[in-house]
Structure 1
Amino acid sequence: MRFGCLLMCFCLWSSTLVTASEKVTLDSLLEEMTSRETLARFPQPAYSCSQASSYDRESEDPSNHHAWFANADRSQWVRIEENEVDGETRKEYVMMDQEGPGAIVRFWGTWHGPRGEKFSNGTLRIYLDGSDTPAIEGPIQDVLDQGMLAGAPLSQGVSPRTPYGQRGHNLYLPIPYAKHCKVTYETDVLVDIGARRGEALYYQINYRTYEPGTEVESFSMDQLAESKDAIAEAQRQLTGRFRPDANSTTSSSGELGTGNKMTAQLKGSQAVRQISLKLDAEDMAQALRSTVLKIEFDGEPCVWVPVGEFFGIGYQPSEYKSFYTQMKSDGTLVSYWVMPFEKSANITLQNLGDEPVNADLHVRSSQWKWDDRSMHFHAVWQELYHVDSFVDSERPGDAAYDVNYVTVDGKGVYVGDTLTVFNGAAAWWGEGDEKIYVDGETFPSHFGTGTEDYYGYAWCRPEKFDAPFHAQPTGDGNLAGGFSVNSRYRGLDAIPFTESIKFDMEMWHWKSTKVNYAPTAFFYARPGATANVDPDPEAAAREVTRSRGDMGTIYLVEGVLEGENLNVDSKTGGMIEQQISGTWGWSNEQQMWWRDTNVGDELVLMFPVEEAGRYKLVANLTQAGDYAIADVMVNDQKAKTIDSYADGVSSREVSLGEFDLAEGVNRLTVRIAGHNEKAIKRGMFGLDYLKLEPVK
């Protein structure tokens, strides 16, 4: 009993540790960042959160469609300054110029040189409180994610497998300022507005502005050194194993048949500190979508979300970890959102699918002192199903439109979102920008530069990554078409609102196709707040989309063996890739691409045959100006010599002949024999598919 009282006292003390600070400092902001429960109380001292970015400045009037969705979201500035420094004129491009007191709380960027030829590394400078001497100065990549200020995850890019020049660069180390902040960029590479010829710099800077009179200690490099222990502790808490301050566990487990529910009930003034859930079903993808998490706090419905979306994986299991959500290696889903309530909480799982689901649910909680700053946790979900991207439009973006994630009326704090997409085309689906309106703004105080930029990465890259505040557990659908899921979680960059918040994201696709687009929005709000997204049981129960064939958006030749799916037995040179394009008439919009070979190089592919017999083999092959002459053999029997040179790119079927094939694995051998006299000698060979026709 004495231990329980001590724990309760500790929880009450820790919940006010950051907000009771008399002065905003680097250390206090780091402490606030790593305190999950701080988000559950309306901010004190009060602040607004806004964004400076390189969005296209033509976007001024929503009634002017072309301008509103303008896409030159790079190398756009507040202004351009020419400053005298040590007797020389220095041109600086101003990215942000803001009165304080305040703090930069997230800084994202990516860049490239003119026409992508050279990746620049210009100088970033951050001037504080009117000083002519920058508090921070260095190559932009060093400042953002090369450890000049801090290590990961406070300073972190995305997947190390992503080519460096195509990464998003993220800085979460807070930079407080007492009176004023100006951020500039300088480079010796040609820069023109919108980067139509010169260097392209894309950036987003999220910053707080505190209420007048708030005392803020401005950042300095000396103070950064003094805070090394606080930084190390923040890094540890952001990435380390987390044990919530909970002294009670409520559990429920069993089989959920169609329409059945299980509920964990909590009473008294408490806070949910952790929800862990493990599902077992024959069809896990469908179970993750059709099993819904519903939560009522103090009699108000606050959460209605499919469990896969709530825990940040959509409906494809993928091990990952953020600061607020996680999927463990054994499939356990975990949420660390702190969810306070004054009197009661009902946490319900319901199976809306056609097949039974086994569920094991555990809710950990502890005491919470409810006050006039305490807020309920909310999450809402919707899916735009088989919607058109740019219908009957000749130019990409002409039919872009804004998708409303959520509009909330009331008082609260917006804390993040997860977006699950099934992309119907082998092209980038997320060119669109976020637009966030706070408390009735007529123009958004957050106007972004691209969906992937909002979610922390860049250049529509498909590689998986996870970090405390940004994650892509699966990005397979980004360029190839198919399934992707992105999450952005907010700590210091959470957005307070006193009357309302409206979050829109542009649907801006590079192809005319169909898309499933399912955002989940997370926010805290005082009792009585309302959102415009209602529960949608029909959408959650609907069969999940598993392939582009389900979407009806892909060209497929029935009954063939796709070249990109054949196993490579051996090769003596060159590189093998799965090349993706919807342009050249490839089945499944992919081919097996063997490139950069030399004469004499040999590739052996394995193809399966269900029943032994005599077959006619037909290969759909690519031809282009840098494709080679190749000898093709089937089970070591010479089939044909094929010259794949052509003026232009196309694919065509070539009969290889008739062969006796064994049941099981057979071999297709390709040997580079030479080059057409007109060809560029890169030794290319491309196999779209093999067709096996039984010979009677």
Structure 2
Amino acid sequence: MSKRFFTAIAIFSILIVADKGLSETVTFPSLLEEMVNPRITAQWPEPEYECLQFSSFDRDSRDKGVPSWWDNKDRSHFIRTEQNEGRKEFVLMDAEGPGAVVRFWSTWHGPGGGEFSNGTLRFYFNGSSEPEIEAPIADVLDKGYLAEAPLGNSVAKTTEYAKRGHNLYLPIPYSNGCKITYQTGAFIDRGAVEGEALYYIINCRKYTKGTDVKTFSLAQLEKNKALISEVQKTLEKGLKFSSKPAASFSAMLKKGDKSRITLAGSRCISGIKVKLGGGDVSEALRRAVIKIRFDGKPAVWAPLGDFFATGYQLHPYKTFYAGVKEDGTMYCRWIMPFRSDAQLAIENIGSGTVHIEKAEVYTEPWQWDENSLYFHSRWKQWKDIKTRSNKDNPANGAFDLNWITINGRGKYVGDALTIFNNAPRWWGEGDEKIYIDGEDFPSHFGTGTEDYYGYAWCRPAKFSAAFHAQPCGAGNFQRGFTVNSRFRSLDAIPFSKSLKFDMELWHWAETTVDYAPVMFWYAKKDSSSNLDPQPEEAIKPLPDISEEGRVQIDIEGAIEGERMQIVRCEGGRAFVQKNTRFGWSEDEQVWWQNGKPNQKLVLSFESEKSGKFKIYANLTKARDYAVVDIRVNGRLMKEGLDLFNPAVKARETLLGKAEIREGENSIEVQIKGANPKAVKRYMFGLDYIKLIEAE
């Protein structure tokens, strides 16, 4: 067994006490070891690096303050196109010097929303004309060509594969440059107006010139098989807490009360656990705040639930750095060093009583040196912020929100966003824009809020992965609550002078939302941020969530097609389409693309009543729409309904009478063919149905 493997086993089986970097030379194994060593995250990096981002953000977004700054064709934009050995390759990333790819996210669809080609992804290292990695993109990112989950994962597992976010966290180092390209036989145009859509975000490290980096090769996967397996297990199971906490308490906190722990010596907090007692803990999660001072300076202020990335609702999830157990215990594993002392307090700033059933703080030894950094966290809320309100951007009303600006030297290591959405529309089209050390244009420019958090297509499904999670997504398409989190290990962002983090707020609807991010970073003691504690925000009333996630059914009104469940789609792709030009109710329809004759789409909807009803359907007609049969609860309602029209048009059509059940009902659409004049894409679109009680 190799010396390196013994080192790896030691990392996972005993307390880590080394406060220095693992190696002067950066290698594939050293990056794997660093990934699961949170002590290194708490230090200024050695060797130093910048964290860069390459993405498919809309290239028309160049000038701040003009409408194009918020353009949204964040797909199929590339650095350039090349001819390599007769192949047309689109360049996604081209980085110079020593570095490492540390995160690769992507999602996709084929031309017109159809089936994706799964073209070839290639990694070229150190100026070579021969790729070291060459395989279909889905295979590379999450189908095991390089790594299985959690290092290569797609989320959520309950979401159909075509609508997932695909994430690769396996580190890929290189000594003198890396170029990543994509090749496909499918048609690709700028911004995927008609062609294949490839969304991507790649984070890489750029090490200081002269850093010794050993370039990745596929042979290293087999050579380091045991280490990879140990890393996978550690990411899945998380780091264990030591058997005994350094301090603990239980308390009943009335308004203004606090419980405090004081720690002395040169040590680090290595974990915190808190479990609340009582019934509904929503108020306590927001009204109880955690405050931490290190060596006399305030560093952490956040509502308890937000600090543990669960917001004001408890939803079980598990990541490497934080989580919520099934019994409601919240925990985090951030390393929080201090030179001489630390004070941790939980204070009740609300009017009710907060029951702390148990709070535990764990510590480890820490040797303070010039690279040691202090842990920080701050929370911010925009209560009832109006969406689509930017008058300088009449196209969509989107605008940027400054989450935080930090001055000084440090590392940005993650955030979580809690949102309450007051409209049944998607809220997260906005892109992250992160400015490092005073740069005029953000070096991190993203493609969408859900993309930043590692999922895709606004999906509401819950998921937990090693470094990102959506414990609840109920508010993604409905009025309701959503919480997203992303924690950074190898993709932490160092800054020498400053970091400014803006997130664009672009909602599909004109409404209000409660929007509350919490940020996590490390910094020197003389650093500062533009965020002060916000107790006045934390005590504002929580939303009435009693109707959360419920589809409003009005028997004499509309049952929206886009809110129906897609039970089965036998071919092509069915999803929600938004467009303000065609007069659809709420500007949306459920859209079935690229099915084939005889294939079926089955939708389900809920009714509060049973009986015989006239059924009206607002159906879209266009030049590429199909001829279809429509059945309700198995009964044929319309046979050979021709949905061809030279221009896009929505029209309410009487389907007929049918028996409707209380509870779940079904609509089945079967493609029979197309009008001779139609473009043969066999589309179908349902805006809504209406149920009118038959006499």
Bucket of the pairwise TM-score, normalised by the shorter protein: 0.7 to 0.9
CA distance in 2, matches of 1:619, 1:293: 56
1:292-311 equivalence runs, <5 A: 292-311=289-308
Query: Given that residues 618 and 688 in structure 2 are in contact (C-alpha distance below 8 angstroms), is that contact kept between their aligned partners in structure 1?
Result: no
Taking structure 1 as reference, are residues 116 and 578 closer, same or farther at Cα in structure 2, changes over 3 Å only? Answer: closer
Post-superposition Cα deviations, 1:607-664, rounded to whole Å, max 9, x if no partner, equal: 699xxxxxxx998965345897989xxxxxxxxx999x99956699x999xxxxxxxx
Which residue number corresponds to residue 523 of structure 1? 521
Deviation at 1:354, TM superposition (A): 2.5
Match of 2:481 among 477, 480, 483: 483
Match of 1:146 among 143, 148, 152: 143
Query: Given that residues 375 and 524 in structure 1 are in contact (C-alpha distance below 8 angstroms), is that contact kept between their aligned partners in structure 2?
Result: yes
CA distance in 2, matches of 1:585, 1:191: 32
Which residue number corresponds to residue 259 of structure 1? 256
Post-superposition Cα deviations, 1:571-615, rounded to whole Å, max 9, x if no partner, equal: xxx9xx9999998769xx999xxxxxxxxx9x9999699xxxxxx
Greater Cα shift, 220-229 or 489-498? 220-229
Match of 1:361 among 354, 359, 362: 359
Which residue number corresponds to residue 617 of structure 2? 623
Match of 1:130 among 115, 127, 131: 127
Deviation at 1:556, TM superposition (A): 7.0
Deviation at 1:312, TM superposition (A): 1.2
Which residue number corresponds to residue 42 of structure 1? 44
Post-superposition Cα deviations, 1:475-499, rounded to whole Å, max 9, x if no partner, equal: 1111223211111110000000111
Paired letter, 2:491: D
Query: Given that residues 142 and 148 in structure 2 are in contact (C-alpha distance below 8 angstroms), is that contact kept between their aligned partners in structure 1?
Result: yes
Secondary structure of the corresponding residue to residue 189 of structure 1? coil
1:358-437 equivalence runs, <5 A: 358-359=355-356, 360-391=358-389, 398-437=396-435
Query: Given that residues 420 and 486 in structure 1 are in contact (C-alpha distance below 8 angstroms), is that contact kept between their aligned partners in structure 2?
Result: yes
Deviation at 1:129, TM superposition (A): 0.6
Post-superposition Cα deviations, 1:352-409, rounded to whole Å, max 9, x if no partner, equal: 2232121021111122111111111111111111111113879885321111111000
1:533-682 equivalence runs, <5 A: 533-547=531-545, 622-624=616-618, 648=650
Match of 1:160 among 142, 157, 160: 157
Which residue number corresponds to residue 596 of structure 2? none
CA distance in 1, matches of 2:113, 2:374: 47
Secondary structure of the corresponding residue to residue 235 of structure 1? helix
CA distance in 2, matches of 1:671, 1:210: 57
Deviation at 1:667, TM superposition (A): 6.5
Match of 1:14 among 15, 18, 43: 18
Greater Cα shift, 146-155 or 236-245? 236-245
Deviation at 1:142, TM superposition (A): 0.2
Which residue number corresponds to residue 661 of structure 1? none
CA distance in 2, matches of 1:689, 1:284: 40
Q: Name the larger-Rg structure.
A: 1
1:119-518 equivalence runs, <5 A: 119-244=116-241, 248-359=245-356, 360-391=358-389, 398-518=396-516
Secondary structure of the corresponding residue to residue 194 of structure 2? coil
CA distance in 1, matches of 2:373, 2:315: 31
CA distance in 2, matches of 1:590, 1:275: 46
Query: Given that residues 281 and 356 in structure 1 are in contact (C-alpha distance below 8 angstroms), is that contact kept between their aligned partners in structure 2?
Result: no
Taking structure 1 as reference, are residues 61 and 276 closer, same or farther at Cα in structure 2, changes over 3 Å only? Answer: same
Which residue number corresponds to residue 110 of structure 1? 107
Q: List runs of 5+ in structure 1 lacking aligned partners.
A: 1-6, 565-573, 592-600, 610-616, 632-640, 657-665, 692-696
Paired letter, 1:137: E
Which residue number corresponds to residue 58 of structure 1? 60
Secondary structure of the corresponding residue to residue 461 of structure 1? coil
Match of 1:25 among 24, 27, 34: 27
Deviation at 1:280, TM superposition (A): 2.0
Query: Given that residues 584 and 651 in structure 1 are in contact (C-alpha distance below 8 angstroms), is that contact kept between their aligned partners in structure 2?
Result: no
Query: Given that residues 431 and 451 in structure 1 are in contact (C-alpha distance below 8 angstroms), is that contact kept between their aligned partners in structure 2?
Result: yes
Query: Given that residues 46 and 211 in structure 1 are in contact (C-alpha distance below 8 angstroms), is that contact kept between their aligned partners in structure 2?
Result: yes
CA distance in 2, matches of 1:187, 1:578: 24
Deviation at 1:102, TM superposition (A): 0.4
Taking structure 1 as reference, are residues 578 and 104 closer, same or farther at Cα in structure 2, changes over 3 Å only? Answer: closer
Greater Cα shift, 239-248 or 99-108? 239-248
CA distance in 1, matches of 2:458, 2:559: 25
Query: Given that residues 248 and 366 in structure 1 are in contact (C-alpha distance below 8 angstroms), is that contact kept between their aligned partners in structure 2?
Result: no
Taking structure 1 as reference, are residues 467 and 319 closer, same or farther at Cα in structure 2, changes over 3 Å only? Answer: same
CA RMSD in angstroms comes to: 4.6
Post-superposition Cα deviations, 1:516-575, rounded to whole Å, max 9, x if no partner, equal: 111111100111211111111121111211349799xx99799999989xxxxxxxxx9x
Query: Given that residues 585 and 651 in structure 1 are in contact (C-alpha distance below 8 angstroms), is that contact kept between their aligned partners in structure 2?
Result: no
Which residue number corresponds to residue 637 of structure 1? none
Which residue number corresponds to residue 569 of structure 1? none
CA distance in 2, matches of 1:669, 1:469: 37
Query: Given that residues 321 and 333 in structure 2 are in contact (C-alpha distance below 8 angstroms), is that contact kept between their aligned partners in structure 1?
Result: yes
Paired letter, 1:429: W
Post-superposition Cα deviations, 1:190-230, rounded to whole Å, max 9, x if no partner, equal: 11111111111111110001111110000001122211111
Query: Given that residues 258 and 356 in structure 1 are in contact (C-alpha distance below 8 angstroms), is that contact kept between their aligned partners in structure 2?
Result: yes
Deviation at 1:283, TM superposition (A): 3.0
Query: Given that residues 391 and 397 in structure 2 are in contact (C-alpha distance below 8 angstroms), is that contact kept between their aligned partners in structure 1?
Result: yes
CA distance in 1, matches of 2:536, 2:119: 51
State the aligned residue count. 640
Query: Given that residues 481 and 548 in structure 1 are in contact (C-alpha distance below 8 angstroms), is that contact kept between their aligned partners in structure 2?
Result: no
Secondary structure of the corresponding residue to residue 194 of structure 1? helix
Taking structure 1 as reference, are residues 111 and 154 closer, same or farther at Cα in structure 2, changes over 3 Å only? Answer: same
Which residue number corresponds to residue 595 of structure 2? none
CA distance in 2, matches of 1:169, 1:267: 44
Post-superposition Cα deviations, 1:239-287, rounded to whole Å, max 9, x if no partner, equal: 1252245765201112111222111221111111110000123432222
Query: Given that residues 126 and 177 in structure 2 are in contact (C-alpha distance below 8 angstroms), is that contact kept between their aligned partners in structure 1?
Result: yes
1:86-97 equivalence runs, <5 A: 89-97=86-94
Query: Given that residues 53 and 203 in structure 1 are in contact (C-alpha distance below 8 angstroms), is that contact kept between their aligned partners in structure 2?
Result: yes
Secondary structure of the corresponding residue to residue 155 of structure 2? coil
Taking structure 1 as reference, are residues 291 and 118 closer, same or farther at Cα in structure 2, changes over 3 Å only? Answer: same
Which residue number corresponds to residue 568 of structure 1? none
Paired letter, 2:540: R
CA distance in 2, matches of 1:154, 1:255: 42
Secondary structure of the corresponding residue to residue 262 of structure 2? strand
User: Is residue 72 of structure 1 aligned with residue 73 of structure 2?
Assistant: yes
Query: Given that residues 130 and 180 in structure 1 are in contact (C-alpha distance below 8 angstroms), is that contact kept between their aligned partners in structure 2?
Result: yes
Q: TM-score, normalised by structure 1?
A: 0.81
Deviation at 1:91, TM superposition (A): 0.6
Query: Given that residues 397 and 510 in structure 1 are in contact (C-alpha distance below 8 angstroms), is that contact kept between their aligned partners in structure 2?
Result: no
Taking structure 1 as reference, are residues 188 and 562 closer, same or farther at Cα in structure 2, changes over 3 Å only? Answer: closer
Secondary structure of the corresponding residue to residue 327 of structure 2? coil
Query: Given that residues 396 and 509 in structure 1 are in contact (C-alpha distance below 8 angstroms), is that contact kept between their aligned partners in structure 2?
Result: no
Query: Given that residues 273 and 336 in structure 1 are in contact (C-alpha distance below 8 angstroms), is that contact kept between their aligned partners in structure 2?
Result: yes
CA distance in 2, matches of 1:440, 1:392: 25
Secondary structure of the corresponding residue to residue 246 of structure 2? strand
Query: Given that residues 67 and 394 in structure 2 are in contact (C-alpha distance below 8 angstroms), is that contact kept between their aligned partners in structure 1?
Result: no
Query: Given that residues 563 and 690 in structure 1 are in contact (C-alpha distance below 8 angstroms), is that contact kept between their aligned partners in structure 2?
Result: no
